[in-house]
Copies of this chain bind each other. A is one copy, B any other.
Amino acid sequence: MSFGNKLGFTSDYMEGAHPKILENLLKTNLEQTAGYGLDEYSLRAGEKIRKACNAPEADVFFISGGTQTNALMIDSILRPYQGVISADTGHISGHEAGAIEFGGHKVLTLPHHNGKLQAEDIRHLLETYEQDANHDHMVMPGMVYLSHPTEYGTLYSLKELQEISAVCRSRNIPLYLDGARLAYALACPENDVTLPDLATYCDAFYIGGTKCGALYGEAVVMPKHDYIPHLFTMIKQHGALLAKGRIAGIQFDTLFTDGLYDAIGKVAIDAANRIRKALTEKGYTFAIASPTNQIFILFDQEKADALCEKVEMGFWEKPDADHVVMRIATSWATTDAAVDALIDCL
């Protein structure tokens, strides 16, 4: 549960999968099933996700990772002359190596507010575009990209999501939400956005598996049936169609059985909240006020160096020569013992 003998809090994808997932992979291993996600496990996982989202007509399919999912969905939703609106801190903007541009689309960035987009800024961008007499010479805004939690570990309120959705729908702009760490949002006391809300207010979104207890895999949900015609072929064209589709199906079938996805989120959030409490009591400064499984701490460089001897954290940024922001991330795999040991080190 650690790198060498350090405490490991670098990220939420440092272990394998939740043990139940491996158990089910093992149990089903020698069964033969159809390929490419047409197997009964994938179908059953889809059914459970539809139920959890209260979206009986939804199409659900599984993709191996987040960048692939974002690139695929954005390429599939947009027409060539359109771009995707994102916060400047959005994952697709800075940290996906140009995967969106590889598909031919511009990322149209807006300044973030604590990691989030604001409905008013989106509305303003759309109006500015509409009113610009030269807009035929410009990339047309064609969809909106959000993530929940955001890159900063922050959360949209239901009201914020509704407002953004209302702006989008008033102009027929699809709203897409990246839920790479969705379990850690859903488990937050501060969160008031549910899966059915996502199905109500978004045109497409994904429920993250890789960072929420799966070996790999993200579940894409599109509340309206056949929202993107021939998406299967585009998945293949993107190299994102796995022959043994059932492996993802079994994983999501497991995650959506007996509340496992919720339980996974709760472990991480309880751990993060214990750590946050200890940090507060010991007088640490938070660089970002995030309520989810990521904690961003502003350290004196010296203090950070000392702590890094005992704890693996993620480097976030260096605001000046004397300070550094480090990230502590908890996950479904974080144990009470590891949290205790971390708190002892602070």
Q: Are B243 and A211 in contact (CB under 8 A)?
A: yes
Inter-chain contacts of A95 with B (CB < 8 A): 134, 137-138
A106 within 8 A of B: yes
Residue of A34, A81, A83 with most partner-chain B CB within 10 A: A81
Q: Are A80 and B237 in contact (CB under 8 A)?
A: yes
A260 within 8 A of B: no
Inter-chain contacts of A233 with B (CB < 8 A): 81, 97, 136-140
Q: Are B14 and A33 in contact (CB under 8 A)?
A: yes
The stretch of A21-29, A49-57, A118-126, A301-309 in contact with B is: A21-29
A2 within 8 A of B: yes
Q: Are A80 and B234 in contact (CB under 8 A)?
A: yes
A216 within 8 A of B: yes
Q: Are B29 and A22 in contact (CB under 8 A)?
A: yes
Q: How far is the CB of A132 from chain B (nearest CB, A)?
A: 9
For window 59-102 of A, CB contacts with B under 8 Å fall at: 64-72, 75-76, 79-81, 83, 94-99, 101-102
Q: Are B242 and A239 in contact (CB under 8 A)?
A: no
Q: How many subunits of this chain does the assembly comprise?
A: 4
**Size bracket of the A interface:** 35 or more
Q: Are B236 and A137 in contact (CB under 8 A)?
A: yes
User: Nearest B residue to A21 by beta-carbon distance?
Assistant: B29
Cα A95 to Cα B133 in complex, Å, equals 12
Kindly identify which residue among B2, B107, B239 contacts A71, using a CB–CB cutoff of 8 Å: B239
Contact with B along A189-221 (1 / 0, CB 8 A): 000000000000000000000110001100000
Inter-chain contacts of A98 with B (CB < 8 A): 81, 83, 104-106, 139, 237
Cα A30 to Cα B232 in complex, Å, equals 34
A223 within 8 A of B: no
Q: Are A2 and B32 in contact (CB under 8 A)?
A: yes
Cα A30 to Cα B333 in complex, Å, equals 8
Q: Are A16 and B11 in contact (CB under 8 A)?
A: no
Q: Are A64 and B64 in contact (CB under 8 A)?
A: yes
Q: Are B35 and A15 in contact (CB under 8 A)?
A: no
Q: Are B138 and A97 in contact (CB under 8 A)?
A: yes
Q: Are A8 and B32 in contact (CB under 8 A)?
A: yes
A31 within 8 A of B: yes
Q: How far is the CB of A74 from chain B (nearest CB, A)?
A: 11
A343 within 8 A of B: no
Given A35-B11, A101-B104, A239-B240, A234 and B72 contact (CB-CB distance below 8 Å)? no
User: Nearest B residue to A232 by beta-carbon distance?
Assistant: B136
A13 within 8 A of B: yes
A111 within 8 A of B: no
User: Nearest B residue to A8 by beta-carbon distance?
Assistant: B32
A271 within 8 A of B: no
Q: Are B30 and A210 in contact (CB under 8 A)?
A: no
Inter-chain contacts of A34 with B (CB < 8 A): 3, 14
**Seed contacts A98-B104, A140-B233; 6 additional CB < 8 Å A-B pairs:** A16-B28, A30-B333, A94-B138, A96-B137, A102-B238, A210-B243
Interface residues in chain A, defined as those with a beta carbon under 8 Å from any beta carbon in chain B: 1-3, 8, 10-11, 13-17, 19, 22, 25-26, 28-35, 64-72, 75-76, 79-81, 83, 94-99, 101-102, 104-107, 133-134, 136-140, 210-211, 215-216, 230, 232-234, 236-244, 246-247, 312, 315, 333
